[in-house]
Amino acid sequence: MSSHNNRLVAAALALGLLAAPASAFDFGRPATPEEIKLWDIDVTPDGKGLPVGSGTVAQGKQVFADNCTACHGDNGQGGIKDRLAGGQGTLASSAPVKTVGSFWPYATTLYDYIHRAMPYPTPGSLSTDDTYAVTAYILSLNGIVPPDGKVDKDSLPKIKMPNRDGFIPDPEFDPAKLFRKK
Amino acid sequence: MTSKTQIESLQRRASVSRRGFLGGLSAGVLGAVATEAAAAQTLAEIPDRGPGADLGAHSERSRFVKIDRIPEAGPGKRNVDPSDAINSKTPHQKLVGNITPTDLHYERSHSGVPDIDPAQHHLLIHGLVQKPLVFSVDDLKRMPSVTRVVFIECTGNGWENWKKADPDLTVQNTHGLVSTNEWTGVPLKFLIGLAGKEKNSNWMLAEGGDGAGVDRSIPLTDEIVNEAFVAYGQNGEPLRPAHGFPMRLVMPGFEGNLNIKWLRRLKFGTEPLMTRWETARYTQLLANGKARQFQLRMETNSVITQPSGTMQIQPGYNIISGLAWSGHGKIARVEISTDGAKIWKQAQLNQPVLSKAQVRFQMDWVWDGKPTRIVSRATDEQGNVQPDRQSFIAAMGTNALFHYNAQQTWSIDEAGRVRNVLA
Predicted ipTM?
A: 0.89
Cross-chain residue pair A27–B133, CB shorter than 8 Å:
yes
**Sign of torsion, CA A54 A59 A62 A68?**
positive
Confidence of residue A11 (pLDDT cuts 50, 70, 90): very low
* Helix, strand or coil, per DSSP, at residue B194: helix
Distance from the A10 Cα atom to the nearest Cα atom in chain B, whole angstroms: 22
Q: Looking at the partner chain, which of A35, A120, A166 has a beta carbon nearest the beta carbon of B289?
A: A166
Percent of chain B with pLDDT over 70: 91
Closest residue by Cα to residue B376 from B315, B331, B311: B331
| Helix or strand (DSSP H, E) at A168 | strand A167-169
Cross-chain residue pair B213–A123, CB shorter than 8 Å:
yes
Cross-chain residue pair A28–B290, CB shorter than 8 Å:
no
C-alpha gyration radius of chain A: 24
* B296 vs A contacts (CB less than 8 Å): 170, 172-173
What are the beta bridge partners of residue B336? B345, B376
Higher pLDDT, B177 or B74: B177
Cross-chain residue pair A44–B273, CB shorter than 8 Å:
yes
* A29 vs B contacts (CB less than 8 Å): 133-134
Rounded to a whole number, what is the largest CA-CA distance in chain A?
Answer: 86
Mean pLDDT of B209-237: 98
Q: Cis (ω within 30 of 0) for the bond into B307?
A: yes
Confidence of residue B412 (pLDDT cuts 50, 70, 90): very high
Do the beta carbons of residue A134 and residue A68 sit within 8 Å?
yes
> For all residues of chain B together, what is the average pLDDT?
92
Q: What local confidence, expressed as pLDDT, does residue A1 receive? A: 35
Angle A130-A135-A138 from CA coordinates, rounded to 5°:
125
Confidence of residue A180 (pLDDT cuts 50, 70, 90): confident
Q: What local confidence, expressed as pLDDT, does residue B37 receive? A: 55
Alpha carbon distance B89, B83 (integer Å): 15
Alpha carbon distance B123, B61 (integer Å): 36
A64 touches chain B (CB under 8 A): no
Alpha carbon distance B199, A179 (integer Å): 12
For B369-409, write each residue's pLDDT tens digit: 999 999 999 999 999 999 999 999 999 999 999 999 999 99
What are the beta bridge partners of residue B153? B178, B255
